[in-house]
Amino acid sequence: MRKFKHFFSNEAAGGIVLIICAALALIVANIPSLQAIYNKFLHFYIDVSIGSFSFIHLSFEHFVNDALMAIFFITVAIEIKHEMLHGHLSTFKQASFPFFGALGGMVVPILIYFAITFHDPALIHGAAIPMATDIAFAIGVLSLLGKLVPPAMKVFLLALAVIDDLGAIIVIAIFYTTDLSFTHLGIGVLALVAMFVLNRYLNVRAITPYALLGIITWYCFLHSGVHATIAGVLTGFLLPNRDINGVNPSNSVLTYFSPYVKWLIIPIFAFVNSGVSLGDVSNAIGDNLHLILGIFAGLFIGKPVGVFLFTYVASKLGITQKPQSMTWDMTFFVGIICGIGFTMSIFIVNLSFPGVTMEERTHIDIARLSILGTSTIAAVVGLVLTRWNLLKHNKKLNKA
């Protein structure tokens, strides 16, 4: 029992569970007797109706990606808001160095992907795929190094990944919006305004009204053309973040949902979105080398180059300052670890290629495999090189 408690309290445990779920999905999707069951599982419809009013009519795959992931984005938004108000992003001095790292880690991968795939208009839609970093996975990998990691390095990775996620959310909101239903969007916006008024002017701290308005916003966004998970982001940002009688409503929501997100929602997301039949895509790999190379080069090369280049230039220009306990090679190796796209990258794949045509479905499968493979390589290489670098750095300090 003690070993189980130790495992689940370890920051790396979430990443291990993700790998297991993704591997399990790949195995199941490639065993003929289980593949049909897996596909039925994905396309099992969930219906929630109130009288003649159908509130939810989604396949399990879409329910995970549109509904459960909205809860994930609520927790992401709360963490970002907390960092901006009270944490590592609360002052310009604290936020500037990881900000430029995140900016480079988004811009350079997108440019590399675009340079490799620009000849194919269908692939350009996936330009944002390599811009994302999986916070939990990246932090989990770094935590495997234990006390070797300087606190400033861990803070840098966390802040960089948080800003990275914020950038991905903005890109999703702007570039992955389809034809708009202004009626649904208008009602959703009114619900958001009501949450703002409850928080800012009426000082309401009870969670129930925010939950009801959040559900209304999610439903309206689901039918508006704006991706439903954006409702989760905005709801998370609008929750009260001030202590009242020792209770912080945002922290309470985060504390409640975090275990479900870490041990249920994200593992299910990995299982649902990683089941690629290798037989179905093997013949199409040759025709999709640009997609594979764009994702690999964007994540594995673009991330470390972008993180290092933007922070180095900004530092030399005097715009920001590198933490004293970090070296420039540490910054580069953090960039390699940021090449672990996984959850957010797979999520953007689902938005980039709607899967209506056979070509789009092939793009989805190959992109998912590319992300899984590249994220694994980035995790292993980042872990090995960072450990080597930190041991060398500590040896120099001991000699001095």
Query: What pLDDT score was predicted for residue 8?
Result: 47
Domain contains 192: no
**With contact defined as beta carbons under 8 Å apart, do 294 and 116 qualify?**
yes
Question: Domain of 369?
Answer: 1-177+227-393
Identify the CA nearest to 125 among candidates 313, 351, 346, 276.
351
CA 224 to chain centre: 23
Domain contains 206: no
Query: What pLDDT score was predicted for residue 372?
Result: 92
| Phi and psi angles of residue 49, each rounded to the nearest 5 degrees, phi first | -125, 150
Identify the CA nearest to 96 among candidates 163, 168, 154.
163
Angle ∠(37,38,39) on CA atoms, nearest 5 = 90
Domain contains 398: no
Query: What pLDDT score was predicted for residue 389?
Result: 92
Question: How many Å apart are CA 108 and CA 368, to the nearest integer?
Answer: 21
Domain contains 99: yes
**With contact defined as beta carbons under 8 Å apart, do 98 and 88 qualify?**
yes
Question: How many Å apart are CA 221 and CA 216, to the nearest integer?
Answer: 9
- In this prediction, the residues of the chain whose per-residue pLDDT falls under 50 are 4, 7-8
Instruction: Provide the number of structural domains found in the chain.
Output: 1
Question: How many Å apart are CA 138 and CA 11, to the nearest integer?
Answer: 10
CA 94 to chain centre: 22
In Å, what is the CA distance from 77 to each residue of 74, 113, 162, 388? Answer: 5, 27, 9, 34
**Full-model pTM:** 0.86
Domain contains 153: yes
Query: What pLDDT score was predicted for residue 1?
Result: 52
pLDDT digits (tens, 9 = 90+) for 319-339: 998 988 889 999 999 999 999
Provide the token pair at 257: 């949902």
CATH code, 320: 1.20.1530.10
Question: How many Å apart are CA 170 and CA 186, to the nearest integer?
Answer: 19
Query: What pLDDT score was predicted for residue 315?
Result: 94
Domain contains 210: no
Question: How many Å apart are CA 379 and CA 289, to the nearest integer?
Answer: 22
